[in-house]
Amino acid sequence: MGEMEELRKEAESLKDDITAARKAVQDASLQDTVSGTAVVGRVQLKTRKTLRGHLAKIYAMHWSTDSKLCVSASQDGKLIVWDTYTTNKVDLHIHTSTVPSSGQVNAIPLKSSWVMTCSYAPSGNMVACGGLDNMCSIYNLKGKDGNVKVMRELAAHTADPHITDRPVVPYDPGYLSCCRFLSDAEIITSSGDCTCVLWDIETGSQKTVFAGHMGDCMSLGVSPDFSTFISGACDCTAKLWDIREGQCRQTFSGHESDINAIGVMKQTRFMSSVVFPGTGSESNRTPLGGGDSGASRNTGSPERPAGSDHGPELSSILRLVWECYCSGANKFFPNGNAVITGSDDATCKLYDLRSDQELITYQDSSIMCGVTSLAPSLSGRLILAGYDDFNCNIWDSLKAERVGVLAGHDNRVSCIGVSADGMACCTGSWDSFLKIWN
C-alpha cells in the first residue's frame, strides 16, 4: 500500500471518528422536538412586480438594506440598480472610457459580460460584481462628483497549484463565483481557485486568504455580526470561517454533489405586531414566514417544549425551536446560529453551528434537479429555494415539507433574495426577468 493510500485511509478513519463523536452528543432530533408543531399552511405568494430591462440571462441579484433597491447582473454585460417599488431602473451618471461623464444611463456597462455574482454594500454606497474575468469590480454609486465610477478592481484569484486532480476546463479556474461586502472598506470573494479572500477595498490588497476547500468555492454567506462566514464548494462541504483569525472553525458534510447556495439565518428584530404562536397578537403586515404556523394561540405565555424548564440548559436543537416560536415578539430570531445549504443533489440541508450537527434535509422525490439558490424568510420558518426546473420551492424549515411553489419563470431560476424587512422576495432567471413576490 502506497503512502498516499495510507493517508487517504487515515483521513477516512478520522472522518468516521468525527461522525461518531457528533452522534454521541446528539441528545435530540429536530423531527422529534417539533413533532407536536403544526405544518405551515399553504404559502401562496403572488407576483407583484416584474423587472424588465436585461437582454440576456440573469445570473445574480442582491437586495440593498433599505429593502427598496436591488442590483442585478446579467450576461448582457450590464449591472442594473432597480427601484423595486416602481420597477424603474435607478438613474446613474456613468464615467467610463465609453460613456461620457455627462451621460445619464440606467445601467452600468461591464468590461466582461461573463458575470456570475453581484453584491450591494450594507451602506448602499457601493455595488460589486465579478465572474469569468477573475476580477471583483467595485463601483461607487455616490461619488463626490455624482458619477458612478469603477472604484477598485480586485484581481488575484488564480488556480491552486496544490490541487492536481482538477478536471480540464476551457476557462481559468480563478473565476469569481460570489462576493459579499462586510463594509465600505472590506469585501469577501469566493473563487474557482478553491479559496475565499478578504480584501481591503481602499488599497486593493488581500488581507486574508481562506484556503481549505478541495473544490471550486461556489457561494458564501456572511454572519449577522460580520465575524464569520460560511462557504460552499464543489467538494460537497460547507466551511465556517473566522474572519478575524483567518481559520476554518467547522466543516459540514452530507451533500453528495456540489454546494451551489448558502443561506445564513440573519439576526433580525421583529415588529411588535408580528404573529407568533401563543402570543395572541395579529397584524395584517406580516413578513414572509412570520405568519401563523397553524399552531393554536393562547393569550398567556407560550408553552415551552417538553424538557425545557430552563433556557440555558436546553439542547441546541430545543433552543433553536424555542427561539423560533416562544421568544417575545421583540426578541431576535434567527440569530446566526444556523446555516442552510443547497446542492446539485436536489437537496437543501439545515446545520446548527452550536451543536455542529446536520438538523434536517429538505427534499422531495418529485424534484430531480439541482438547487441553484436559496434564501430564508425573515423569521427563518420558511426557506425559499430556486431550482433548475424553472421553479422556486418554499419549505417549512422545521417540518421539511414543501408548502408552496413560485412558478412564473420560463427558464432556470438562478438567484433569489428576501428583502431585509422580510416583506418580499425577488427571483432572477435565465429568462432575463426579475420578479418581486409577496
What mean pLDDT is predicted for residues 232-243?
94
What mean pLDDT is predicted for residues 187-206?
94
Task: Name the residue with higher pLDDT: 304 or 93.
Answer: 93
| pLDDT score at 335 | 66
What mean pLDDT is predicted for residues 62-66?
94
What mean pLDDT is predicted for residues 275-281?
31
- Please give the backbone phi and psi of residue 115, each rounded to the nearest 5 degrees, phi first: -90, 145
- Please give the backbone phi and psi of residue 48, each rounded to the nearest 5 degrees, phi first: -95, -35
For the ranges 221-225, 268-272, 330-334, 367-371, the maximum mean pLDDT occurs at 367-371
SS3 354: coil
What mean pLDDT is predicted for residues 407-427?
93
Reading phi first (left if > 0) and then psi (alpha if -120 to 50, else beta), residue 366 is in alpha
Fill in the DSSP letter of residue 279. Answer: T
| pLDDT score at 168 | 43
Name which of 57-66, 87-96, 137-146, 367-376 the model is least confident about.
Answer: 87-96
Residue 42 grid coordinates:
399553504
Residue 100 grid coordinates:
461620457
With contact defined as beta carbons under 8 Å apart, do 258 and 215 qualify?
A: yes
Name which of 4-8, 33-37, 320-324, 342-346 the model is least confident about.
Answer: 320-324
> How is the chain split among helix, strand and coil, in percent rounded to 5?
10, 40, 55
| pLDDT category of residue 263 using cuts at 50, 70 and 90 | confident
| pLDDT score at 34 | 87
> For residues 103 and 256, what is the distance between their CA atoms, to the nearest angstrom?
50
* High-pLDDT (> 90) share of the chain, %: 55
| pLDDT score at 235 | 92
Residue 17 identity: D
What mean pLDDT is predicted for residues 39-51?
92
Instruction: Return the closest-CA partner of residue 422 out of 236, 285, 307.
Output: 285
Handedness of CA 269, 273, 275, 278 (dihedral sign): positive
What mean pLDDT is predicted for residues 203-212?
93
Tell me: pLDDT of 257 over 70: yes
> For residues 221 and 63, what is the distance between their CA atoms, to the nearest angstrom?
14
> For residues 236 and 239, what is the distance between their CA atoms, to the nearest angstrom?
10
Neighbours of 385 (CB within 10 A): 27
